Amino acid sequence: MPSEIKFGTDGWRAIIADQFTFANVQKAAQGLAGEMLASGTAKAGAMIAWDTRFGSERFAIATAEVLAGNGIRCVLATRPAPTPAASFSVITHKAGGGVMITASHNSASYNGFKVKSDQGGSAPPDMVARIEAEIERIESGEVVVQHVSLDEAKRTGLLERFDPTAPYLEQLGHVVDLEPIKQARLKIVVESMHGSGGGLFPRLLSGGNLEFIELHGEPNPAFPGFAQPEPIEANLRALQAAVRENGADAGIAFDGDADRVGLVDENGRYISTLEGFSLLAHHLLERRRQQGTVVSTITMSSMVDRLGEAYGIDTPRTAVGFKYVGPKMLETNAIIGGEESGGYAFRGHVPERDGLLSGLIFLEAMVSSKKRPSELLTDLLAITGPHSFRRVDVQFPEDQRSALQNLIETAEPGTLSGMEIERSDRLDGVKYFLEGGGWGIVRMSGTEPLLRIYAEAQDVQTVNRVLEDLTVTLGL
């Protein structure tokens, strides 16, 4: 039988009490323990943290009991935390790896098991492959899950508890100069989506002139009001309305584990994740005068390439997932790395998505330029030209995955929206490069049963026609 534990673009995620069970979490933890023992990282210990989802603390405890059962010293969080705080905690504790119990932006019925490398970022593909091989040995009966009780782990010195929040917030103050932001006379609306980032942004920037209005800052594992705690436009109507009604200067949203960001300008207009990434990259290049690559996935905007041409920098692309982006950032000394989902990482911090840090750098861009978000976008588009983008997600039954994957691998539509396809790239799904600079992509989500269809072009009408043609090509 195939394993129920399948690692995707960032960890293993599944529906709670269906496949995401204590027995399976223990197997995943034993797989990590085997990998750490074999690779030699176990001697540095492991960090374990958790978010506000249903059962997250208990799943984190089960993970610690297995790692400790294998003789691996563990530090276990005492309170729910954002994923970027967990990533940074790997560094502060000099751990050999880590686990974050979260399903990030997935709906409330899901939980997940994210593995961190000793660099604090998402476990790279080779590490994931070794963990999966260990899980196969467990399921074949070759390896038995080892565990001890939490009390026993404490008694033998294999477990200590820690609060990951304070050191993480202090770290953000080292990456961004907070004082000018605190003293700016701005009104900001924050949408925390009932997740583990609730209350942290106002806490970080209190004590000055900045005025905050926080929406849904209280934790709630059901994420009421949201189909899923993902900071995309469909979920940000309340934020957009609050910006307009309160005359705010901007809106900033975080997903369930605060590793992604969503941005809204002073008019309540949603700034797409592609515009947001390019806007932040432009700020780092133009105002901070940073030099280095800008790393992004194949689904990121062509605006990145235009910035590369304007500033004379390389803009390498990777497959979707920070397990690819993070290592490429380290390899190329990137100033920023990101993916279309709204997850961005920055030099001087861990090579992992950080929603709170992204929000801070957005505010830094506003304060240092003395410009409103819409004006920052105008400056960006003066360099890149106009770009429109849209993504459509199509849910499918799991038993159709292989057929759809085969269709993606073989589809050759010839034209899209009447434009010739100049070339295609099958690094992750298939990307069609169109005459005139537009593109369309079809790929499988690595975290849930969704087919993702993307398009970018100069105008909305062309984007919609490209999406329609791709949908027809796939017979959806």
Neighbours of 422 (CB within 10 A): 12
Instruction: State yes or no: pLDDT of 451 exceeds 80.
Output: yes
Confidence of residue 373 (pLDDT cuts 50, 70, 90): very high
- Output the six-digit token pair for 154: 């404490």
**Cβ neighbours of residue 201 under 8 Å, at least 6 residues apart?**
190, 192, 212, 214, 252, 254, 356, 359
User: For 63-84, what is the mean pLDDT?
Assistant: 98
Q: pLDDT value at position 400?
A: 85
Residue corresponding to tokens 């920070």 = 322
Provide φ and ψ at 160, rounded to 5°.
Answer: -135, 155
User: For 117-137, what is the mean pLDDT?
Assistant: 95
User: Could you confirm whether domain 388-473 is CATH 3.30.310.50?
Assistant: yes
Using alpha carbons only, what angle is made at residue 5 by residues 193 and 451, rounded to the nearest 5 degrees? 60
- What percent of the chain has pLDDT above 70? 100
Cβ(99)–Cβ(12) below 8 Å: no
- Can you name the CATH fold of 176-384? Alpha-D-Glucose-1,6-Bisphosphate; Chain A, domain 3 (3.40.120)
Q: Which range has the worst mean pLDDT, 15-24, 32-41, 439-448?
A: 439-448
Task: Return d(Cα 381, Cα 395) in angstroms, integer.
Answer: 34
Instruction: State yes or no: pLDDT of 447 exceeds 80.
Output: no
**Mean pLDDT over each residue of the chain, to the nearest integer:** 95
Task: Return d(Cα 234, Cα 215) in angstroms, integer.
Answer: 16
- Output the six-digit token pair for 286: 């133009």
Q: In which element (H, E) is residue 368 found?
A: helix 355-369
Using alpha carbons only, what angle is made at residue 282 by residues 278 and 285, rounded to the nearest 5 degrees? 140
Neighbours of 139 (CB within 10 A): 16
Neighbours of 91 (CB within 10 A): 18
**Cβ neighbours of residue 466 under 8 Å, at least 6 residues apart?**
416, 417, 434, 438, 440, 455, 457
Task: Return d(Cα 86, Cα 83) in angstroms, integer.
Answer: 5
**Cβ neighbours of residue 369 under 8 Å, at least 6 residues apart?**
283, 287, 375, 376, 379
Q: pLDDT tens across 273-299, in order?
A: 999 999 999 999 999 999 999 999 999
Q: pLDDT tens across 315-367, in order?
A: 999 999 999 999 999 999 999 999 998 999 999 999 999 999 999 999 999 99
Q: pLDDT tens across 74-108, in order?
A: 999 999 999 999 999 999 999 999 999 999 999 99
Q: pLDDT value at position 1?
A: 65
Q: pLDDT value at position 231?
A: 95
Task: Return d(Cα 16, Cα 251) in angstroms, integer.
Answer: 32
Q: pLDDT tens across 158-169, in order?
A: 999 999 999 999
Q: pLDDT value at position 436?
A: 85
- Positions of CATH 3.30.310.50 in the chain: 388-473
Task: Return d(Cα 247, Cα 225) in angstroms, integer.
Answer: 23
Q: pLDDT value at position 89?
A: 98
Provide φ and ψ at 75, rounded to 5°.
Answer: -115, 125
HEC string for 103-126: CCCCCCCEEEEEEECCCCCECCHH
Provide φ and ψ at 197, rounded to 5°.
Answer: -90, 0
CATH of 7-163, one of 3.40.50.1820, 3.40.50.1380, 3.40.120.10, 1.10.10.10: 3.40.120.10
Instruction: State yes or no: pLDDT of 472 exceeds 90.
Output: no
- Positions of CATH 3.40.120.10 in the chain: 7-163, 176-384
The helix, strand and coil proportions of the chain, stated in percent and rounded to the nearest 5, come to: 40, 20, 40
Q: pLDDT tens across 226-246, in order?
A: 999 999 999 999 999 999 999
Task: Return d(Cα 197, Cα 202) in angstroms, integer.
Answer: 10
User: For 119-140, what is the mean pLDDT?
Assistant: 95
User: For 120-138, what is the mean pLDDT?
Assistant: 95
Q: Which of 90, 116, 97 is closest to 10 using CA atoms?
A: 116
Instruction: State yes or no: pLDDT of 9 exceeds 90.
Output: no
**What is the total residue count of the chain?**
476
Q: In which element (H, E) is residue 28 found?
A: helix 22-39
Q: pLDDT tens across 394-411, in order?
A: 888 888 888 888 888 888
Task: Return d(Cα 393, Cα 123) in angstroms, integer.
Answer: 26
Strand, helix or coil for residue 325 = helix
- Output the six-digit token pair for 407: 């269709």
Query: Torsion angle of alpha carbons 115, 120, 125, 130, nearest 10°?
Result: -60
Instruction: State yes or no: pLDDT of 476 exceeds 80.
Output: no
Q: pLDDT tens across 212-223, in order?
A: 999 999 999 999
